[in-house]
Amino acid sequence: MAGDAKSVMDPQRIVAIYGSPRRRGNTATLLKQAVAGAREAGARVEEIVLRDLKLSPCLEIYSCKQNGECRIQDDFQKVRERVLSSGGLMLASPIFYYAVSAHTKILMDRFHSLWVQKRWMPKSQNMPPAARRKGLFISAGATRGKRLFEGTLLSVRYFFDTLEMDLWKSLLYRGLEHESEVQEHPHYLYEAHQAGRELAEELGAENLVTAIDS
């Protein structure tokens, strides 16, 4: 599919990525609430369920050093285009061994091709710097350890930075393991709904300011 240079950013479109292997898991339920809030605020939201895609892990062959594109042909290309042409991102993943899910980590690693494009390719071949965008991260873990999310947040921040995106907000919930447990915490669902709405409102406000200034 088309590369970065052909992607036209829509500042009021948000991509929501479900990184859980469970379709109705806790993080998936929370992300659905955030999606609903964003749509109520007027954002266009495209949902991507990673478990439904064919995504190979990064093979570290570094063919991306040639033109910034990953040589592995699978569903990554369409995800990459949609993410890079969006105004914001909502990413949700449960905690597995103090890290994101395997589905989520595969996607993050494949975006290393973008980092290569920006950092290793000659400037003449590189795309112009993009405006910083905003991302929301939602996560839940079964335990209640104080350091449960530390490693994950570090990875997510660097991943978002590769996308020219700031970690605008993170919603982190402990003690959630079984599929229906988040339903016992309506305040968590409300927080996710409000976060989605606020992200959409921020993107809309920034788009308005840009239009006025241009």
Radius of gyration of the chain (CA): 17
Per-residue confidence of the chain (214 residues) as pLDDT tens digits? 333 334 566 778 999 999 999 989 999 999 999 999 999 999 999 999 999 999 999 899 888 888 888 889 999 999 999 999 999 999 999 999 999 999 999 999 999 988 888 777 666 455 555 678 999 999 999 999 889 999 999 999 999 999 999 999 999 999 998 988 999 999 999 999 999 999 999 988 665 444 433 3
User: How far is 48 from 182, CA to CA, in rounded Å?
Assistant: 21
What pLDDT, on a 0 to 100 scale, did the predictor assign at position 69?
87
What CATH code would you report for 4-213? 3.40.50.360
* pLDDT number for residue 2: 34
Instruction: Read off the pTM.
Output: 0.87
Tell me the two tokens of residue 51: 């478990």
In this prediction, residue 36 carries a pLDDT of 97
Amino acid at 142: A
What's the pLDDT score for residue 7? 56
DSSP string, 107-171: HHHHTHHHHHHHHTS-TTTSPPPPPPEEEEEEEE-SS--TTTTHHHHHHHHHHHHHTTEEEEEEE
